[in-house]
Structure 1
Amino acid sequence: MAGGADLEPGTIVDAYRHGAFPMPHDGELLWWSPMQRGILVPSTLKVSRSLKRSVRQLSVTVDESFEEVIDACADPTRPGSWIDGAIREAYVNLHRLGWAHSVETRDADGALVGGLYGLSIGGLFAGESMFHKVTDASKVALVALTEIVGDSELIDVQWCTPHLESLGVVEWPRVTYLEALPALVAGQPLSEWAR
């Protein structure tokens, strides 16, 4: 963990290329590189029967409502909310530049009911946050993300929580993650994000 720096696009992308990510804490911008990194290999996602039902009931879009997704993730009434105005502005800018992407989950009427966002750098998708308004909506977005990236990418979820562990997320020691990172970020960006 380190403090300082700015939230310019080049600063943020370079930080991810070197295993760090920004997250404010107590009003200070800090850069984190956890000792244990939460990682999801797309093919190892665990999809329960109930989640399969939710996948059939909800639809998914990509990059159609990025700002709505980040705003839902930033809702200050959510426990552990950490996305402040500066982070929001930085990631909206990264989205406009083609680095940050969202996966949105919608109900039968097309209303946004869940989603996630993160950065795609070469063969790395660095997930930042997710939200849901109905059961399993964020998980459906994660299922869609694994289908989008396939095994050409690694999904970094930063920290492994019991919830994420139940979906197949594992922990990698920081040294393992940092050793894998150069080859990942040097990969070709997915054309899927351009659709």
Structure 2
Amino acid sequence: MSNDIFLLDQSPLFPPADLAQENPNGLLAVGGDLSVERLIEAYKSGIFPWFCEGEPILWWSPDPRCVFLLDDVHVSRSMKRELNKSTYTITINKSFGAVVDGCAAPRAKEPETWILPEMKSAYQELHSQGFAHSIEVWKDDELVGGLYGVSLGRFFFGESMFSRAKNASKFALIYLTNYLLKNDFILLDSQVGNPHLYSMGAVDITRENFLELLAKHSDWQQPDDLWQPKQLLDWR
């Protein structure tokens, strides 16, 4: 394990993810930019950016890695009842910018956000080029929840989610994982675990295992119409 934090130059290439630090867990590199080319190289290498206001761009690859194995997403009996009686409408890529804004908005326990203006701009460009996608949850015509992330090969790399109504972010996650499973994906990356994610079936796998899966499945060609804006009609 390296004790160095790598300083990035103009090249979009990264050092191997398994050279990331143990403390803080997963910190690999500093600097560079948030260009589409660099971000795609990062995700294909098992690396993602995360930094706060006043910090340089920090790049991470933690060990272990929190993921959803799509066959193992947990939907409780009570949640199934909520899903079956719900009047929410769930869509893909209908309002990407609004979902990112919702994820960036201050929260009661998190008054500060890591989704800074430069991050918003970078992921909006990824969306424009067909790499970043959103799931929206609507109550009538009001956006009440959603999530966004990046999709490459058979992976969806979740970035953030938000909820302004009961279970809205859970609905977004459940509908997305079902959609991914039906379209031959194998994994939804959640980066770092928390009790909410674990309660829905997320598990930790080693970085080595994560990188092996990524190397095997990141070049799979997604169907051309996979991320066309649409309504999702089924959660199972």
Q: TM-score, normalised by structure 1?
A: 0.94
Distance 1:110 1:55 in 2: 19
* Partner residue of 2:134 out of 102, 105, 119: 102
Q: Which residue of 2 aligns with 1:135?
A: 166
Over the aligned positions, Cα root-mean-square deviation in angstroms equals: 1.4
From 3, 18, 23, the equivalent of 2:45 is 18
* Distance across 2 between alignment mates of 1:148 and 1:33: 26
Distance apart, 1:48 and its partner CA:
1.5
Map 1:164-183; keep pairs closer than 5 Å. 164-183=197-216
Aligned counterpart for 2:68 among listed residues 32, 35, 40: 40
Instruction: Give the secondary-structure state (helix, strand or coil) at the position aligned to 1:193.
Output: coil
The match for 2:21 is: none
Q: 1:86 to 1:8 in 2, by over 3 A?
A: same
**Alignment partner, residue 71 of structure 1:** 101
1:119 aligns with 2:119: no
**C-alpha deviation, 1:170, in angstroms:** 0.2
**Separation in 1, partners of 2:146, 2:94:** 11
Quote the residue 1:59 is aligned against: 89
Post-superposition Cα deviations, 1:80-113, rounded to whole Å, max 9, x if no partner, equal 6210000000001100110000000111x13111
Could you tell me which runs of 5 or more consecutive residues in structure 2 were left unpaired when the two chains were aligned: 1-26, 230-236
Q: CA deviation at 1:26?
A: 5.1
1:50 & 1:35 partners in 2: Cα distance?
Answer: 33
How many Å separate the matches in 1 of 2:197 and 2:107? 21
Quick one: percent identity of the two aligned structures?
42
2:102 maps to a residue whose letter is: A
Cα drift, residue 124 of structure 1: 0.8
CA offset at residue 194 of structure 1?
2.7
Which gives a bigger RCO, structure 1 or 2 (Cα 8 Å, sep 6+)?
Answer: 1
For 2:51, give the aligned amino acid. P
Kept after mapping to 2: 8 A contact 1:63/1:104: yes
TM-score, structure 2 normalization: 0.78
Distance (whole Å) between structure 2 residues aligned to residue 39 and residue 92 of structure 1: 24
| Residues 52 and 113, structure 2, Cα contact 8 Å, conserved in 1 | no
Aligned length: 194
From the CA coordinates, give the structure whose radius of gyration is larger: 2
